[in-house]
């Protein structure tokens, strides 16, 4: 009944559902507080307190036909202007309202950017490991994914990047802070990528776009700087979401930046606006647009995730596991003590620990732990991790 090309999607869907059901089975058998589910990347830091009042104020203060009626497919002009100014203040950019397309979250913005620039059969380079859902977004644009292996610290290797770029390359997709590894690309890394792309643009005499997926931008720890990409490379699309920065994933609100320095910026902006329409989104949901503009300075409590990060990292290191302290997002990437990370995930289930095999991110030999869970869950999980470590004879000093 379904399109042939969706069959791999549904096969993978079954696998995800099986894991979800396994979690439910364990919770039913052992009790919710005895199961340590690190498999889901769902933001759970409390929604900022001012959000509820802001929605009610918006309803009270906005003419009803303005709040619910048709608008430009790009979104409300005042909302776009507010976001542009906010970014200018933070990053020293020079955006105006016609550089900001309001979207149904980051996933929609990514689909729009890809559809706008990728011709069927053209290539999109993505640094591996990566969030495999990107494959489907590229597929929606009839593009072809070219994975580019990162180095041992999960950072881009410029030589490999050069090798991955061909005359068919239309875009390079980056994600920083990064899912699943938690790394943040430094200014040096960004400059390195920009340099390669500038060179390749000249070589092939054609635009190569850098698409920066930044839903975790605000989740960066220890004061680490997350460089703003448009300052380093003109043909950059920035994809943003409020799902994590305000804990609003159900609301589906984000935006796409088409910077003024992009070649033919005005026409590209008109095109992403039209693509927003034909993609079926039409426009970002109206109430949520007004909401993020009104709460432009709001943020979730970073401390919520940071505390989890430190407790989990220190606990795992004490057990003898090998991992790198994540710099951003809410994921910790752990090296499996055995080659087969699937076997390791299965062993963990005996202790009611649920993790995702790194193979789901093109990183065999690793597992991903999403630490967007209660701090209690983290603390209670540590004795279980200790037993798991003992099973592998770690930390046997």
What part of residues 368-397 is at the interface with a copy of itself (CB under 8 A)? none
Does residue 10 bind a copy of itself (CB under 8 A)? yes
Closer of 11 and 397 to a copy of itself (Cβ): 11
Q: What are phi and psi of 150, to 5 degrees?
A: -85, 175
- Token pair for 388: 């798991």
Choice from 280, 376, 393, 397 touching a copy of itself (CB under 8 A): 280
Ramachandran sector of residue 329 (left: φ over 0; alpha: ψ -120 to 50; beta: rest): left
Cα dist. 373→188, 202, 242, 309, 379 in Å? 33, 47, 19, 10, 11
Does residue 147 bind a copy of itself (CB under 8 A)? no
Binders in 86-125 for a copy of itself, by CB under 8 A: 104-105, 107-112, 115-120
Does residue 297 bind a copy of itself (CB under 8 A)? no
**Angle 222-178-98 from CA coordinates, rounded to 5°:** 95
Closer of 75 and 156 to a copy of itself (Cβ): 75
Does residue 298 bind a copy of itself (CB under 8 A)? no
Q: Residue 165 CB: number of other CB atoms within 10 A?
A: 21
Does residue 3 bind a copy of itself (CB under 8 A)? yes
Binders in 203-222 for a copy of itself, by CB under 8 A: 207
Q: Residue 376 CB: number of other CB atoms within 10 A?
A: 9
Closer of 271 and 377 to a copy of itself (Cβ): 271
Stretch that binds a copy of itself, among 29-37, 178-186, 225-233, 250-258 (CB under 8 A): 250-258
- Please tell me the distance from the alpha carbon of residue 64 to that of residue 345, in angstroms, as a whole number: 52
103 strand-pairing partners: 254
- Please tell me the distance from the alpha carbon of residue 278 to that of residue 282, in angstroms, as a whole number: 7
- Please tell me the distance from the alpha carbon of residue 85 to that of residue 303, in angstroms, as a whole number: 27
Stretch that binds a copy of itself, among 221-229, 256-264, 311-319, 320-328 (CB under 8 A): 256-264
Shortest Å distance, C-beta 139 to a copy of itself: 8
Choice from 5, 205, 376, 397 touching a copy of itself (CB under 8 A): 5
Task: Map residues 11-50 to x or -, x wherever contact with a copy of itself holds by CB under 8 A.
Answer: --x----------------------------xxx-xx---
Task: Map residues 67-86 to x or -, x wherever contact with a copy of itself holds by CB under 8 A.
Answer: xxxxx---------------
Shortest Å distance, C-beta 333 to a copy of itself: 22
Shortest Å distance, C-beta 277 to a copy of itself: 8
Shortest Å distance, C-beta 151 to a copy of itself: 30
Does residue 283 bind a copy of itself (CB under 8 A)? yes
Does residue 132 bind a copy of itself (CB under 8 A)? no
Does residue 259 bind a copy of itself (CB under 8 A)? no
- Please tell me the distance from the alpha carbon of residue 212 to that of residue 283, in angstroms, as a whole number: 21
**Four-point Cα dihedral 158, 159, 161, 165, nearest 10:** 140
- Give the number of residues in contact with a copy of itself, rule: CB under 8 A: 76
Sign for the pseudo-dihedral over CA of 327, 328, 330, 334: negative
Does residue 286 bind a copy of itself (CB under 8 A)? yes
Cα dist. 54→50, 58, 306 in Å? 6, 6, 27
- Please tell me the distance from the alpha carbon of residue 181 to that of residue 328, in angstroms, as a whole number: 9
Does residue 161 bind a copy of itself (CB under 8 A)? no
Instruction: Give yes or no for a contact between 109 and 252, defined as CB atoms under 8 angstroms apart.
Output: no
Instruction: Give yes or no for a contact between 312 and 325, defined as CB atoms under 8 angstroms apart.
Output: no
């Amino acid at each position: 009944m379904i399109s042939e090309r969706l069959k791999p999607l549904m096969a993978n869907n079954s696998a995800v559902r099986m894991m979800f059901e396994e979690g439910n089975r364990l919770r039913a058998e052992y009790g919710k507080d005895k199961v340590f589910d690190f498999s889901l990347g769902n933001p759970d830091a409390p929604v900022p307190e001012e959000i509820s009042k802001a929605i009610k104020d918006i309803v009270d203060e906005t003419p009803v036909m303005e709040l619910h009626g048709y608008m430009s497919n790009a979104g409300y002009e005042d909302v776009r202007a507010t976001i542009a100014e906010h970014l200018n203040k933070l990053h020293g950019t020079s955006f105006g309202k016609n550089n900001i397309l309001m979207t149904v979250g980051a996933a929609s913005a990514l689909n729009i950017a890809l559809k706008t620039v990728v011709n069927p059969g053209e290539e999109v380079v993505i640094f591996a490991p990566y969030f495999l859902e990107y494959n489907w977004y590229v597929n929606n644009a009839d593009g072809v994914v070219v994975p580019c292996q990162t180095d041992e610290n999960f950072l881009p290797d410029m030589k490999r990047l050069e090798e991955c770029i061909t005359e068919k390359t239309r875009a390079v997709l980056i994600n920083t802070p990064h899912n699943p590894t938690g790394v943040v690309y430094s200014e040096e890394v960004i400059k390195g990528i920009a340099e390669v792309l500038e060179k390749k643009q000249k070589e092939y005499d054609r635009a190569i776009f850098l698409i920066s997926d930044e839903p975790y931008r605000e989740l960066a720890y220890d004061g680490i700087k997350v460089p703003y990409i448009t300052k380093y490379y003109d043909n950059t699309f920035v994809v943003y979401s409020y799902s994590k920065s305000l804990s609003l994933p159900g609301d589906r609100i984000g935006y796409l930046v088409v910077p003024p320095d992009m070649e033919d910026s005005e026409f590209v902006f008109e095109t992403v606006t039209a693509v927003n329409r034909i993609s079926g989104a039409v426009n970002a949901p109206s109430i949520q647009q007004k909401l993020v503009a009104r709460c432009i300075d709001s943020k979730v409590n970073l401390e919520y995730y940071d505390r989890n990060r430190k407790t989990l990292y220190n606990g795992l290191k004490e057990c003898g596991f090998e991992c790198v302290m994540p710099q951003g997002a809410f994921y910790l990437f752990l090296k499996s003590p055995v080659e087969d990370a699937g076997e390791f995930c299965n062993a963990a289930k005996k202790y009611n620990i649920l993790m995702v095999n790194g193979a789901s991110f093109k990183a065999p030999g690793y597992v991903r732990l999403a630490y967007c869970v209660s701090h209690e869950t983290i603390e209670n999980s540590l004795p279980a991790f200790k037993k798991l470590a003992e099973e592998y004879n770690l930390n046997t000093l």
